[in-house]
Structure 1
Amino acid sequence: MKPSSGKCLALLLFFVAGAIEMGGASSARDIMGCPSNTSPCFWRLFPCPAECPAIQPKNPKAKRCTIDCHSPICQTVCISPKPSCNGIGSGCGDPRFIGGDGVVFYFHGRKGEHFSLVSDPSLQINARFVGLRPAGRTRDFTWIQALGVVFGSHALTIEATRAARWDDAVDHLNFTCDGDLLQVPEGHLSSWRSGDGKLMVERIGSRNSVRITLKEMAEVSLNVVPVTKDDDRIHRYQIPSNDCFVHLEVQFRFFGLSPDVEGVLGRTYRPDYKNAAKFGVAMPVVGGEDEYRTSSLLSPDCKRCLCSPKEDAVWQDVI
């Protein structure tokens, strides 16, 4: 019995959509689709806008085309290739966050400790903070130095390596996946994928910038940057001469969070969340150090974490 032409067309669309979902096809204007049957855009294909015709533009500074397969608005949009510190889901500097509700807040944490940024039943994202406390200060100056991501059966870490002085010609990123060192060759669009296709790490520029795709769950864009002399002068950090406090600027896009999501940043995506940040002040600080502190970069053991510890090795800290 031969399949109907309608079924053949649907099957063809499915494979085309699946092939290009993470950037597989290229033309004058790329086409994107959503192969997951949980998406309201399932079985449909959408051309990229003329302003950003490519899913993977060859110019690392060009905007790229993407689609949110979990949004009922089924359309492709243009987004910046690298994290925007003024965009929703970002965390930059002495950590200044913009929550899912669009509200700016600061979470300082403590130097040398780990905190849960996002905790959901199927996703855990922790951050390690580095910093210093000059004499006379009542709190640490802190920056995000590393991320730990547990997703499905995988545990990924991304670390900004220490440097006395910043050098643009040097890559300051270290990766591990499931306990092993991960090599992602330098060069724009150089990438690595997990065997099951659910996790991808892709460079967005020759070095020091990557995008991490967690299939149907999240996308993380990050830059590695130092604390500059101007930053030091303006904020009076008192950075020592032998450490420029290399750290991460990050921006998250989430597609499948539960309504009960937790974490320093994750809680701001809850539909019932009321932001405690004070409006109209120069630095609206939000607490939660005790609630969101974890024992390591990959541990889901904060007081308000939603993930349950797994028995396999992916939940063990590997840095």
Structure 2
Amino acid sequence: MAHLLPVLLLLASLRLAQAQYFNFPPPPSSPPIPTPAAEPPSRVAGRNHPSDSFICNDPRSSCFGRNLTCPPQCPAFRPANPNEKACFVDCSNPTCEAVCGSRRPNCNGVGAACRDPRFVGGDGIVFYFRGRANQHFALVSDAGFQINARFIGLRPAGRRHDYTWVQSLGILFGRHSLTVVATPAASWDASADHLSFAFDGERFDLALGHLSAWSAGDLFVERTTTVNSVAVALPGAFEMRATAAPVTEEDDRVHHYGVPAGDCFVHLDVQFKFAGLTERVEGVLGQTYQPNYRNPVKLGVAMPIMSGEERYFVPSLLATNCNSCIFSPEAAAGDGDTSSTIHRQSSWIAQAR
């Protein structure tokens, strides 16, 4: 066999030279071991992790001391995917169970003020409040804070009342203020942001992107979608969901608004959740949270109208001097009035901060 070794080496070298000359492919190698695909952010953020939970620490709540855990269907208070349902906790709910829902306003839920504008009171009764175009009204006025709204609108020929929408909110607490404004637009672009913000009169930028956040002290503002939707929280006082929306051509056709060309009447759809309201709480919406409130609107009609323009009119977005307002910046900056308080511990965003 030793005498055949030179021959075998010669044949091997000829085959290699032939392969290089004709550009034959090299012999196949073992296939690479595949790496597992990265999991989508929503799963990384919640579904493959332990569910979020919240301990009810208000001794006056029905769930005091209970640790409420989010269900598997919505394991996170702040899901990474804005289209997924979030987990919500209400420590005053007798069932003491966390529930799933959207982080955007539920216009049929308690505390909502949407469209032209349709309210759902603290008593669960639906009503409409016309207000007047380009005027301001107190939605909620309590010992610790006040929420005003600027109404925009129009009055077609032959109508006795304005069609109105909530265009901006002025929130006052202590000696501070926050404004949330739906910015005007000739036409609606869903990919553009139509919200602007100011704190104590100074405008601030809230970066675009889901879960982008800004805070000042206890006040917390967070985007719940890439653009046009936010959640605002002031622990111990209120939480709010707000979305900027246009009056669509279909809305205009159905309701005969008469919206002119060049203005889509961008407005805010909002929903509030309150904590620690006093029994004297006032405002277009706030009055419906009084313990012994008897709603005067006519039930069983298509549009039950709530009066009160003269009681809740304020001269500007950050004014506090309506006829029935009870908020005082000086008192709120101190201890405030905490007597006769309606305690309700619940949260849309504060648990996850």
Structures share fold, TM-score greater than 0.5:
yes
* Count of paired positions: 287
* Residue 235 (structure 1) aligns with: 255
Alignment CA distance shift 1:217-1:70 (3 Å): farther
Task: Give the C-alpha shift of residue 51 in structure 1.
Answer: 2.1
Cα distance, 1:217–1:41 mapped onto 2, change above 3 Å:
farther
**Stretch moving more, 68-77 or 130-139:** 68-77
Q: Does 1:76 align with 2:95?
A: no
Farther-moved stretch of structure 1 (50-59 vs 123-132): 50-59
**Residues 30 and 48 of structure 1 are in contact (CA less than 8 Å); yes or no, is this contact kept in structure 2?**
yes
Instruction: Note if contact 1:62-1:81 (Cα within 8 Å) is conserved in structure 2.
Output: no
Structure 2 CA distance for partners of 1:272 and 1:111, relative to 1, 3 Å: same
| Structure 2 counterpart of 1:251 | 271
Match of 2:212 in 1: 190
Correspondent of 2:185 among 163, 166, 189: 163
Structure-2 separation of matches of 1:190 and 1:309: 30
- CA root-mean-square deviation: 2.1
Of residues 105, 118, 123, the one that matches 2:140 is 118
Matches of residues 1-319 of structure 1 in structure 2 within 5 Å? 27-34=49-56, 44-69=66-91, 74-194=96-216, 196=217, 198-310=218-330
Secondary structure at the aligned position of 1:192 is classed as strand
Structure 1: runs of 5+ lacking an equivalent = 1-24, 314-319
| 3-state secondary structure, aligned to 1:91 | strand
- Alpha-carbon separation, structure 2, partners of 1:309 and 1:300: 8
TM score, norm. by length of structure 1 = 0.85
Structure 2: gaps spanning 5 or more residues: 1-44, 334-353
Distance in 1, Cα, partners of 2:63 & 2:110: 23
Cα distance in 1 between the residues matched to 2:101 and 2:233 = 15
- How far is the alpha carbon of 1:61 from its aligned partner? 2.1
Measured after TM superposition, the shift of residue 268 of structure 1 is 0.6
Deviation string 1:201-260 (CA, Å, 9 cap, x unpaired) is 010100000010111221100110000001111111111101110000011111211111
Q: Residue 277 of structure 2 aligns to a residue in which SS? A: coil
Which residue is 1:14 aligned to?
none
Q: Which amino acid aligns with 2:326?
A: L
Check conservation: 2:145, 2:332, Cα contact below 8 A.
Answer: no
Alpha-carbon distance in 2 for matches of 1:179, 1:38: 36
**C-alpha distance in 1, partners of 2:94/2:318?**
33
Query: Are the counterparts in 2 of residues 69 and 255 from structure 1 also a CA contact under 8 Å?
Result: no
Equivalent position of 2:41 in the other structure: none
Per the TM alignment, residue 37 of structure 1 is displaced from its structure 2 partner at its CA by 6.6
Which range is displaced more, 27-36 or 231-240? Answer: 27-36
Normalised by the length of structure 2, the TM-score is: 0.77
Pair member with larger Rg = 2
Contact 1:70 1:256 in 2 (8 A): no
